[in-house]
């Protein structure tokens, strides 16, 4: 298996010594740089760059610069997606958003993690597990969503939350670690 194949199936892989993955990250970082340095009034240019960056772009999607990701092709945005300033998506595994998802400023979606065993970690190995966010979700500012998490439909995640476990549909959740606070009507 190639390092990319390992990455995409969620087993340990070496992203640092693989020319294919390095080239893909550099291409994506260059596109993000161009996106982030496009004048805000040039919405058409930003939309075109976003189409080149992400794997799937629904209708009426907007991302406010700056925005950074690793590969781009693993990001799937549903209709009416919005991400505010300083969004970071470490997308070694798929990050999938449903429709009507609103992301506050300074949020991070991290599919990548590192082994607890120091020998593996020091060898530069990592893993990636997908993140899925349902429909009708509002994610407050400063939220971090960790590898392998699924957020259900009709959910509000409170600002500053660190989401380490799945969040069911129809709830308000917040905290560090994030936990369900109450049901939504």
Tell me the catalytic residues: 114
DSSP letter for each residue of the chain:
--HHHHHHHTS-EESTT-HHHHHHHHHHHHHHHHHHTS-TT-HHHHHHHHHHHSSEE-TT-EEPSPEEES-STTEEE-TT-EE-SSEEEE-SS-EEE-SSEEE-SS-EEE-EE--SSHHHHHTTEEEE--EEE-SSEEE-TT-EE-TT-EE-SSEEE-TT-EE-S-B-SSEEEEETTEEEEEE--
């Amino acid at each position: 298996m190639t390092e990319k194949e390992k990455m995409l199936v969620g087993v340990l892989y070496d992203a640092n010594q693989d020319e294919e993955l390095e080239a893909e990250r550099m291409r994506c970082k260059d596109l993000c740089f161009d996106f982030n340095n496009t004048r805000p009034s040039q919405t058409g240019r930003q939309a075109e760059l976003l189409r080149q960056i992400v794997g799937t772009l629904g209708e009426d999607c907007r991302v406010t610069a700056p925005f950074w990701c690793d590969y781009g092709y693993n990001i799937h945005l549903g209709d009416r997606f919005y991400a505010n300033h300083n969004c970071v998506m470490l997308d070694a595994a798929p990050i999938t958003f449903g429709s009507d998802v609103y992301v506050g400023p300074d949020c991070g979606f991290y599919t990548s993690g590192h082994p607890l065993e120091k020998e593996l970690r020091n060898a530069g190995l990592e893993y990636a597990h997908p993140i899925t966010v349902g429909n009708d979700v509002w994610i407050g500012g400063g939220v971090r969503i960790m590898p392998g998490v699924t957020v259900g439909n009709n959910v509000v995640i409170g600002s500053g939350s660190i989401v380490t476990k799945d969040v069911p549909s129809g709830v308000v959740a917040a905290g560090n670690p994030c936990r369900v606070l109450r049901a939504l009507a």
